[in-house]
Amino acid sequence: MRSTFTLSRAEVRELDRRAIEEFGIPGAVLMENAGRGVAELLLSLNTDRRPVVIICGKGNNGGDGFVIARHLDFARVNVRIIDHSGSPTGDALLYRDIAIKCGIPFVDSWEGEVWIVDALFGTGLTRAIEEPFASVVRQMNASGSPILAVDVPSGMDCDTGRPLGECVRATHTATFVAPKLGFHEPCASEYLGKLHVLGIGAPRVLIESFARGTTWTV
């Protein structure tokens, strides 16, 4: 679906909630669709098949990263995970366990020419990134590697488009359902890189209700 509207942080949460509770789509299915979409995008961008390092943080953003890793591994891409998820729960824990069972390497660092997938923090971030994660963001930015950010560059306030301190400067950003509210602000462009809008399998009628600003329910 071609996106012509934006979603705020609160609207992202509400859309996910309604897709799960009103339409009965499991959250794990939405996460699977999101991660698979990002993996397919990266396969189209990474034409020389560089190794990929996925930096996974807490919550759903990290969960997306674990899904991305599995799909890249299936495509025979050399993929590794740097895990900053701590003690994930729910769908993120499910997909981390699957990645471990698939034998995908979990590592502490990277070297050489790689693609970096930023799955550290997502739209829920509302304050400056603290250590040790601020150092991780600085390392990504200083690497010289192309960076694909998942949903929003880590460190950006998705409602204002402004950095909340340290912020990933992505080469590409794969956001879900629609651009986020702050993405159209001039300050956002230097962090977003090229923007790609991907679907997650949310029902069309639900998405269109947000695009119209309605409160349609089943």
Tens of pLDDT, residues 37-93: 999 999 999 999 999 999 999 899 999 999 999 999 999 999 999 999 998 899 999
Longest Cα separation, the chain = 51
- Sign of the Cα pseudo-torsion (28, 33, 38, 43, in order): positive
Reference 168, options 199, 131, 143, 196; nearest CA is: 143
> Whole-angstrom Cα distance, residue 113 to residue 111?
7
Tell me the mean pLDDT in the region 169-176.
Answer: 98
125: helix, coil or strand?
coil
Tell me the mean pLDDT in the region 179-200.
Answer: 95
Residue type, 86: G
pLDDT at 216: 40
Of the CA atoms within 13 Å of residue 107, those in its CB half-sphere come to: 14
Tell me the mean pLDDT in the region 188-214.
Answer: 91
Question: Is pLDDT above 60 for 149?
Answer: yes
Strand bridging mode 115-119 / 147-150: parallel
Is-above-0.85 flag for pTM? yes
The CATH class given to the 9-211 domain equals: alpha beta
